[in-house]
């Protein structure tokens, strides 16, 4: 009985050390394979750093300001000129030209000299003096959402300010004091507080999530290229002489996964720490909490990539597949369209990709400042994905090894 127990302990110890040796071998071998592949190096080291940098520079101004607008003043009065000055005083609108007809304004718009047209109709001042409601016409480029939004915002501010001034003066003319007139004009003033993104910056909104998608897609492409290159050589990279990998697929996959994790730690530091500070992206929450999310997120991507890489027979297949999938992942991530408005079935399908769960959880921590406990469902889901993809990747590698061995037997 004692001998049997001792033998079992000895076998367990032997298996542990054998697994550790195989994990270390797979780790070092995968690193050598990566550094010998120039295409993979380009994706895993250059592209993953270049894309976030280029996008961040493009969104550096963050907000759309001083939109050139053409004004058509058909009233030629003091009130219309004051109206134009108020438009020019807003941060959203810049008075590009003042013309006398809609035909001229339309031509300037088609030429690209202005992004919108504002028409002050004839009789504008008379209506204001009579107390009759006056109106202005706004034509703005709705094909560009941000320009359209900011043009309307500037218009509402300028028109609202002029309207308030006219009404307050009318009330004061009836004998009301200035303060009383202002209270009568706006008896219940609304105060707006812009939370988490006070400047309304598009870059601060979209870039943190975009960086997470870039990390995911470049890693999937790089792993797929390595797997496809192994198939091209008709010698799977996981099959090595003298090692019984069929009995240690978990160790093989873990070793390979650690190699990619080690490579992407500096990438995470650059994109999510240095780049975020450089361009002023939100960083309210604890970065330690963010790192707790990043670990299962990164391993989920790695194991998913290792599993999928077994499907690629050529290295180019990885690039074509991931480039095709990338827009779907972006549009279904909730960045460009609210998750609640995405059809439920489609939303469930895109949760195959770790970024779908990671992006809202990461943004809540770094933008809203919540703790890791408040994103517990997403964290548990990522941990579950990591475990499931690890098992599936191990099964995929084992099946691939068995097929390779059968093929070698048939050839012999």
For range 29-34, the mean pLDDT: 88
Task: Please count the other Cβ atoms lying within 10 Å of the Cβ belonging to residue 225.
Answer: 27
Q: What is the pLDDT of residue 126?
A: 87
- Comma-separated ranges of CATH 3.40.1710.10 domains in the chain: 67-185
Q: What is the pLDDT of residue 10?
A: 57
Q: Is residue 178 within 8 Å of 172, Cβ to Cβ?
A: yes
For residue 181, what are the β-bridge partners? none
pLDDT in tens, 209-250: 899 999 999 999 888 888 777 666 655 444 444 344 555 788
Inter-helix orientation angle 376-411/354-366, to 10°: 150
Dihedral sign of CA atoms 178, 182, 184, 185 in order: positive
pLDDT in tens, 248-304: 788 888 989 999 999 999 999 899 888 888 888 888 888 889 999 999 999 999 999
Task: Please count the other Cβ atoms lying within 10 Å of the Cβ belonging to residue 117.
Answer: 23
* CA pair distance 264, 307, nearest whole angstrom: 18
Q: Rounded mean pLDDT of the chain?
A: 82
Domain 67-185 belongs to what topology?
abc type-2 transporter like fold (3.40.1710)
Q: What is the pLDDT of residue 238?
A: 44
Asked if pLDDT for residue 321 goes beyond 90, the answer is: no
Q: What is the pLDDT of residue 240?
A: 46
* CA pair distance 286, 131, nearest whole angstrom: 56
Q: What is the pLDDT of residue 252?
A: 86
Q: What is the pTM of this model?
A: 0.80
pLDDT in tens, 172-222: 766 777 676 666 666 677 777 778 877 677 778 888 889 999 999 999 988
Look at strands 116-120 and 67-73 and give their pairing: parallel
Asked if pLDDT for residue 5 goes beyond 70, the answer is: no
What percent of the chain is predicted at pLDDT more than 90? 18
Q: Is residue 146 within 8 Å of 64, Cβ to Cβ?
A: yes
* CA pair distance 200, 91, nearest whole angstrom: 13
Asked if pLDDT for residue 1 goes beyond 70, the answer is: no
């Amino acid at each position: 009985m004692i001998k049997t127990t001792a033998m079992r302990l000895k076998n367990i110890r032997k298996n542990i050390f054998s697994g550790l040796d195989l994990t270390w071998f797979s780790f070092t071998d995968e690193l050598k394979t990566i550094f010998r592949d120039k295409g993979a190096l380009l994706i895993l080291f250059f592209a993953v750093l270049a894309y976030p940098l280029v996008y961040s520079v493009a969104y550096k101004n963050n907000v759309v300001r001083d939109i050139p607008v053409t004004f058509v003043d058909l009233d030629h009065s003091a009130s219309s000129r004051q109206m134009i000055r108020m438009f020019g005083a807003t941060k959203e609108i810049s008075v590009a030209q003042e013309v006398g007809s809609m035909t001229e304004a339309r031509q300037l718009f088609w030429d690209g000299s202005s992004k919108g047209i504002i028409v002050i109709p004839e009789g504008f001042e008379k209506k204001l003096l009579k107390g009759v409601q006056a109106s202005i016409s706004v034509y703005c480029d709705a094909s560009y959402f941000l320009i359209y939004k900011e043009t309307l915002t500037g218009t509402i501010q300028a028109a609202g300010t002029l309207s308030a001034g006219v009404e307050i003066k009318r009330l004061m003319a009836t004998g009301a004091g200035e303060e009383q007139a202002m209270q009568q004009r706006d008896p219940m003033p609304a105060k707006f507080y812009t939370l988490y993104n006070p400047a309304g910056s598009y870059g601060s909104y979209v870039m943190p999530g975009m960086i997470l998608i870039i990390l995911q897609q470049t890693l999937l492409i790089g792993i797929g290229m390595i797997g496809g290159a192994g198939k091209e050589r008709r010698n799977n990279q996981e099959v090595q002489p003298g090692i019984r990998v069929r009995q240690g697929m978990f160790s093989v996959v873990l070793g390979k996964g650690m190699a990619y994790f080690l490579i992407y730690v500096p990438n995470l530091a650059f994109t999510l720490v240095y780049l975020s500070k450089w361009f002023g992206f939100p960083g309210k929450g604890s970065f330690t909490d963010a790192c707790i999310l990043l670990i299962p997120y990164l391993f989920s991507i790695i194991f998913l990539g290792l599993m999928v890489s077994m499907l690629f027979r050529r290295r180019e297949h990885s690039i074509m597949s991931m480039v095709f999938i990338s827009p779907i992942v972006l549009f279904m991530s909730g960045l460009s369209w609210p998750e609640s408005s995405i059809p439920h079935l489609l939303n469930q399908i895109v949760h195959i990709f770790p970024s779908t769960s990671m992006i809202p959880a990461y943004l809540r921590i770094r933008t809203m400042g919540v703790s890791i406990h408040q994103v517990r469902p997403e964290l548990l889901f990522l941990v579950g994905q990591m475990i499931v993809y690890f098992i599936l990747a191990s099964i995929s590698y084992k099946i691939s090894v068995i097929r390779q061995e059968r093929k070698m037997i048939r050839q012999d």
